[in-house]
Structure formats: C-alpha cells, structure tokens
Amino acid sequence: MDFIPRGTPDLSPLGTFPGWFSALLRLRGIETESEAARFLSPSLDDLHDPFLLAGMDRAVNLIRRAVEAGERIMVFGDYDADGVCATAILLETLTEIGAQVSFRLPSRQRDGYGLSENAVREIAEKAQMLITVDCGIASCAETALAKSLGMTVIVTDHHQIPEKLPPADAIVEPLLGAYPCPHLCGAGVVLKLCQARLGRAGAEKLLDRAAIATVADAVPLTGENRVIVREGLRRIGRTARPGLKALLDVSSTVPPLRADDLGFRIGPRLNAAGRLGEADICVRLLLTGREETARAAAQQLESMNRSRQAQEKEITAAALALVSGEAAPEDLVLVAAGNNWNPGLIGLSAGRICEKFSRPAVVISVPADGSAAVGSCRSVPGVNIFEILQACSSLLVRFGGHEQAAGLTVLPENIPALRKRLNEEVRKTAGSTGFTREMMYDLAVPFATWNEESLAMLDTLEPTGCGNPPPAFLLPGASIQSLRRVGRDGTHLQISAMDERGTYVRGIAFSQGDVADRPLSDADLLYTPALNRFNGRTSIEAQVLAIRAG
C-alpha cells in the first residue's frame, strides 16, 4: 500500500487561517481569501442562471405550451436514488404549475436501465409529452420511436455524451455546451429546469431531494453542487415533509446532518427499492403529505435495505471465490460471472472487489434461460471504464455510465472474450506493472494540533465527498502501544499509539480487526480526527483510515 500526498502543501497563511488549514484550502484549488470565503460559506446567490444550460430555453417553452394546451405529460425516471429524487422534484413542480402529469420508472429486473421500446409504446398511449430524467441521452432509437408515435420528447440527463445524440425536441444536459457546473447529477439538472420555470425562490424548496441525489450519485461536491448539498442539508434537518422525516427516523439520523448521512443512511434506503423490487414506492414516499403513509413506506424501505445487505454479502463472497479461482496473476481487470445474481446488487459487489484488490472489477449476472447477461463495472483512478467499454463495444449488446462506474449487457457466450479484451485495453492504460493500492492524504499533522477549535475549523470544509474529499492526515512513525479487536465478531480495531512528538493517540480502525493478529510495533497511520463525547467526558480520537507497517 502506498500513501500518496494530494499535492505539495503550501503552509503559508491564507488570510487569517493557520498554515495547516491554508494548505488544505490550496489543495482544493482555493488560492485567495475571497475564494476561501465563497467556498466555506456557499450561498444560494452562487446558484447559476439555469438558462446557461444548453436546451433550457427550448425545454421551458415546450413545457409551458404543453401545460397551457392541457397535454398529458409523462416523467420517465430511473430506479436509483438520483432518479427517484429527480422524478419527485419534477412531478412536484409540474403539478404546482397545473400540468396533467404522471410518472413511470423502469424495473431493474424486467426492463433494465433507461427507455425501452415497450415503455415508449405504452407511454404513447397515455401522454403527449415525454420528459426523461437521469436517463435518455443514449436512447436514440427509443426517442425516434416516441417522436414517430406523436410525442414531444424532452431529455434531461447528466451521463456521458454518446457519439450520436437522440432526436429529442429539447435536450438539457450539463455536458453539452459550457455550463459552469458540468457535473450536476440527474436531480440537479431537474432542479435547474424547475428553477428556470419557477425562479430561485420556487427552486429553494426542492433543494432537499436534490441534495440527497447529489451525494448518493457521487458527483463532485464543488461549485454549484456544494451549494445544493449545503443548503439541502439544512432544509432536511428542519423538514416538515412526512417522507423525509420518516426516512430520518428509520435510519436513526438526527440533525445536524452531514453529507455522510445522505450517502450512507438515506441514499442506500432509497436505492434498496430499485435493487430488490420497484422504485415507485420511493417517489410516493418523497411526495406524500400523509405521515401514516410515509411511516409505512419508510419501514418497507428499511426492510428492503436489510435484505439488500444480506444478499449483497452472499453475492460478494461468491464473486470473490470466482475471482480467486479464475483470475490469472497477470489480469488487471477482475471479472466474475455468476448465475442469477440479483442485477441490482452486482454493482455493489463490483465496488467491494475493486476496493479490495485495487483493480477494475466487473461482476456479471447470467440468466438461467441463456438470455443476455448484465454486468456492473467499477474502476480505479486513472482507468476510464466507460472508454474501456467503448473499445470493447463489438462484444457488447449495450453499455453506458461514467469514468469510474458503468453498466453493460453481454451475451453469455461472449464473456470469455470480453474478459480477455478488457484486460488488453486496460493494459494499454496501466502498462505491465498493474496497480498498487494507493491511499491519498492531505498533510502530515501532529496529533497535538487538534482541539475543539481546530476541529470546528475542519468542519467548515463540509459537505465533503467526491471532488472535495474529507481531509486525511498522516501520522508517520507512530509507536504502537496496543491493538485490540472490538465490535461484533471482532471486525474493528481499537488502537493506541504515540506519535513522534510523544502525544498519545487513541483511535478506531473500522473493518481492520485483522491487524491485531499480527505483530506491529511501528506504523504510519492515515487518520482523521474526531471529537468523542461519552459519559460527560470529551476526548479527541483518531479514526484510522489505513495502517502501514513501519
């Protein structure tokens, strides 16, 4: 394992900030006091003009005409947290302006991702306008079919731009043109559409669902996305929406909220429905005004999430066994194909394998009837898995996604050839040396730096996540005093150490309990400091992210 600094730290004070905090800001691209003020205190004034988005004028005018003409509008979304939040946001807005509107979400198991011919034909019998959210940018044939059946089509999406755009009446996509925040999530794009129609004041009440989607979809928490999440977290913390209150309750999430709460508590529960069943329940939960309905739906999502966790564990174990038995030592891409694995969970398993081995991973579910198999891909920094799949497109039925995560459909008989071709293409990127697991850190900081004041300053970097990573610090040459397994089944590690300056460090390393089973006297620790309040006592401890033997 390599510990890699994010950059060369510049410890010279930025304004009144101490050197260590100034260095953190500079590592995030902030060079001036004014930039620091804007970053640390983002406001709604920082939201961009929605009409800077390509296609926005056209989309707004088409929707206005459809509402005035009394046309029926169908919102077609996606089954993940981003898709259901985007669908709920647009439904609420269209209803508010008097539209006749309904929605449809695909089934991951029956339909797969995005528009399908069957869906388009069914929608054409019910609506005169089709608006896609969080999908549609690659649906050329389906869009052409919708148009031939007499529908007006508006595509709102945020995924990678294909070589050929769909023949929609309007396309709102931040990767087209020169929009200042090109990495909005699907719900973020819809938020901008609603802002264009309702103005900023009308869009503010939609920030709660947009914040959930922005974190859950792992888009960069910089620029406009940072505003959406920061303001959205505040609104969720004092929400009167029965659906959000019920989600907070079943997930034991209490204000003040952080981005992690959305990513690890709220998001997984919204995703669970689409992974195991139908995601419609999530849209209704997010829109209901009835507390009893919200509680029942949230409890159902909680049950689904627990089932999801159990099934994911089983699939991951099976996939790891296949990888261990089938992968050649020189393989740079790990491919596991199993019969009838839940297609909604294979992406999670691919992520686990990718993280464990620091190599791109593809997990494929092969149907028992021999029909096309579906797969999910997760990649490592430096390997654009979407571009790799493009190079393998002759072996695929379809594919789509982002640089670090993608999906594919492949005929079962082509899986061996796909495994070979993936490795060939990745080797062109990675060379013959392959990958070494790397952990990034910001600065080497003595543990004595931390007190309640410095931790409060650290908190101003929130919300952290993709694009604005939580600060990680290096404690080199720590003298290990004790290691002990803790938690259920001894999964976690309790550690005590002395840093090079003689400061005592007490910490917890999640999912690293096995470190206690081997002798360790000196080590380099990657950590983040945290305030621990217990039984009326306050202490500062280290959440240890990684341990490297000295």
Whichever domain contains 470, its CATH number is 2.40.50.460
**N-terminal to C-terminal alpha carbon distance within the chain:** 12
190 in the same domain as 55: yes
Last residue of a domain, one of 430, 464, 485: 430
Per-residue confidence (pLDDT) for residue 110, from 0 to 100: 83
111 in the same domain as 241: yes
We report the CATH number of the domain holding residue 400 as 3.10.310.30
3 falls within a domain: no
Per-residue confidence (pLDDT) for residue 330, from 0 to 100: 82
Per-residue confidence (pLDDT) for residue 163, from 0 to 100: 87
364 in the same domain as 262: no
> CB–CB of 254/117 below 8 Å?
no
334 in the same domain as 382: yes
Element of type H or E holding 118:
helix 117-124
Q: Report how far residue 402's alpha carbon sits from residue 191's, in angstroms, rounded to the nearest whole number.
A: 21
Among candidate residues 107, 104, 146, the one with its CA nearest the CA of residue 124? 146
421 in the same domain as 447: no
Joined together, the tokens standing for residue 434 give: 């392959």
CA 238 to chain centre: 24
Q: Give the Å distances, CA to CA, from 379 to 4, 350, 357.
A: 18, 9, 11
Q: Report how far residue 137's alpha carbon sits from residue 132's, in angstroms, rounded to the nearest whole number.
A: 9
We report the CATH number of the domain holding residue 88 as 3.90.1640.30
Per-residue confidence (pLDDT) for residue 434, from 0 to 100: 59
Per-residue confidence (pLDDT) for residue 327, from 0 to 100: 80
pLDDT in tens, 395-442: 999 898 788 899 999 999 999 999 999 999 999 877 655 577 789 999
Mean pLDDT by 10 residues, the chain (550 residues): 91 94 96 94 96 98 98 97 98 98 92 91 98 96 98 96 95 96 98 97 96 96 96 97 98 95 97 94 98 98 96 96 86 94 94 92 94 94 92 93 89 96 90 72 94 95 94 96 93 94 94 91 95 85 93
1 falls within a domain: no
Per-residue confidence (pLDDT) for residue 192, from 0 to 100: 98
484 in the same domain as 398: no
Q: How do beta strands 443-444 and 473-486 pair?
A: parallel
Element of type H or E holding 407:
strand 405-410
476 in the same domain as 423: no
> CB–CB of 185/220 below 8 Å?
no
Per-residue confidence (pLDDT) for residue 432, from 0 to 100: 53
Per-residue confidence (pLDDT) for residue 433, from 0 to 100: 52
184 in the same domain as 255: yes
Residue with tokens 């005409």: 65
393 in the same domain as 344: yes
Q: Give the other-Cβ count within 10 Å of 199's Cβ.
A: 11
> CB–CB of 158/174 below 8 Å?
yes
> CB–CB of 333/346 below 8 Å?
no
Per-residue confidence (pLDDT) for residue 504, from 0 to 100: 95
Among candidate residues 84, 76, 74, the one with its CA nearest the CA of residue 273? 84
90 in the same domain as 184: yes
Q: Report how far residue 188's alpha carbon sits from residue 466's, in angstroms, rounded to the nearest whole number.
A: 15
Q: What is the pTM of this model?
A: 0.90
Last residue of a domain, one of 371, 406, 430: 430
Three-state SS at 211: helix
Domain extent, residue 71, equals 50-299
Joined together, the tokens standing for residue 188 give: 């973020």
> CB–CB of 255/245 below 8 Å?
no
Report the b/e string of 357-386 with b at 16+ CB within 10 A.
bbbbbbbbbbeeeeebbbbbbbbbeebbbb
Count of structural domains within the chain: 3
Amino acid at 499: D
55 in the same domain as 75: yes
Q: Give the Å distances, CA to CA, from 490 to 223, 509, 516.
A: 41, 11, 10
Alpha helices per DSSP H over 238-370: 242-250, 259-261, 267-276, 280-287, 291-326, 346-357
446 in the same domain as 358: no
